[in-house]
Amino acid sequence: MTIRAGSLDRRTLLRGAIATAAMGSFAVACSSPSDSGNDDKGAKGKTSANNPFGVAANSKVDAAIFNGGYGVDYVTYAGNIAKEKSNGLDVKVKPVVDIAPELQPRFVGGNPPDLIDNSGEDQIGFLGILDQLEELDDVLEANNYEGKKIADTIYPGIKGPGTFKDKFVGLNYVMTVYGVWYSKTLFEANGWTPPKTWDEALDLGQKAKKKGKYLFVHGKEAATYYRTLLIDSAIKEGGDEVRLALENLEKGCWSHPAIQGVIKVMETMVKEKMFVPGGSGTQFQKAQAIWSNDQKALLYPSGGWIENEMKKATKADFQMTGFPSMTLTGKPKLPYEAIRAAAGEPFIVPKKGKNPAGGKEVLRAMLSKDAAANFSKTKLAPTIVKGTVPADGYGSSALVSQTKMLEAAGTNIFTYNFVEAYGMNTDQLVPWNSFLSGDLDAKGLTSALQKISDKVREDDSVDKIKVS
């Protein structure tokens, strides 16, 4: 999980998967007079197997791409492929940081870009523009440039995060894999193995103390990374009933036995001083460097972005490697290999763009093996396209481990979105920092988290969608 603006800008963790009231505020602004009487979708070419969307020869695509941690060059790369494959398609990529403020006037004016990476802290609420977006089912049904049906080349569950009111309108391109990270070099030197259960993690913590090290470290802005670790472990232990209780803000959801079991182990770790002290007063990247550079802590829970984020503050030959979150017992409802993984960076194609067919063609190019491999090589992150990361991970041990975790998980991949959807993270940071510092016990943490969920549930001004 990620909680600071910069991280959300980079990963965008599917905030649109559950609608919030904030999303609705964009609806009024975007219901412009130009919504009617304009069915012109620009020049059209003849559809064929090689031109499934009917892109006109030598037409142009206006692409507005969020300029976050991934930059925009990967879309430029895909645009060049599309130009070669699609009879001269000219893709103009414009970097944008503040998506909603900059693009809202264009939606209102009826002249939005042909393709948008709807990402970042100022992401446009999907419900507000839902009727103005092309459905993207045909993109997945089309063949890629290698002649294979795109739907057969991507990881399962990709449609879910970009589907709103049964309309698939957001194609999320980047896979974010969540897990626990460690130095393979350090572990091998000490004869340690990554823990599979929380009891094994406790045992590892004792071994770390004997070496003058700690098990975990946290930073003040990222204390809720341990909430993510808690929830991931609890869902693996208790199954869908844990996930659905949290997603639907049920009364007493934080008191589920699986959640409480993990919280109590964490509490023991805090009491036994297995966390680097002072984390609640340490900036998150400095705290992460205590792990990645100083190696005072053995483990760190994070998403797969961690290697790229800390590449300038990681000890040489660290060999950053990830493994799935620990299970509470040896008989969880989901196997140890189960992981939380989610597709992010949602791309949309507005209906009223001058060339929506061209926008879809750029997506088709992005989903080619060439473009997907280029992204992974340059950004050290997997896309939704399977089989595009080589065995050596382009020299990235973290990328290799992400791919291995995805393959090992198979269909046992889950995600949840209630924290981002309802904007709970800022409130949750307070009790989590107190808990990890030893100033709040397990009971106090549970109570604080439940109050935050209850407040959202009981607020009639916040739209809620039942998750099943």
412: exposed, middle or buried (Cβ count in 10 Å: 0-12, 13-18, 19+): middle
Predicted confidence pLDDT, tens digits, the chain (468 residues): 332 223 333 333 322 333 333 333 334 344 443 343 344 455 678 999 999 999 999 999 999 999 987 889 999 999 999 999 988 999 999 999 999 999 999 999 999 999 999 987 688 888 789 999 999 999 999 999 999 999 999 988 889 888 888 899 999 999 989 999 999 999 999 999 999 999 999 999 999 999 999 999 999 999 999 999 999 999 999 999 999 999 999 999 999 999 999 999 999 999 999 999 999 999 999 999 999 999 999 999 999 889 888 989 999 999 999 999 999 999 999 999 999 998 889 999 999 999 999 999 999 999 999 999 999 999 988 999 999 999 999 999 999 999 999 999 988 999 998 887 788 898 999 999 999 999 999 999 999 999 999 999 999 988 887 888
What pLDDT sits at residue 41?
54
Helix (H) or strand (E) holding 309: helix 306-309
Strand partners, 168: 163
Beta-carbon neighbour count of residue 51 at 10 Å? 18
Strand partners, 342: 176
Could you tell me if 87 and 120 are in contact, meaning their C-beta atoms sit under 8 angstroms apart? no
Which tokens in the block code for residue 36? Answer: 């009617």
To 10 degrees, what angle do helices 356-366 and 73-85 make? Answer: 110
Which tokens in the block code for residue 311? Answer: 């590449």
* Parallel, antiparallel or unpaired: strands 167-168 and 171-183: unpaired
What pLDDT sits at residue 42?
58
What pLDDT sits at residue 147?
95
To 10 degrees, what angle do helices 442-457 and 257-271 make? Answer: 140
Could you tell me if 398 and 181 are in contact, meaning their C-beta atoms sit under 8 angstroms apart? yes
Return phi, psi of residue 143, to 5°. Answer: -85, 145
Which tokens in the block code for residue 414? Answer: 């889950």
16: exposed, middle or buried (Cβ count in 10 Å: 0-12, 13-18, 19+): buried
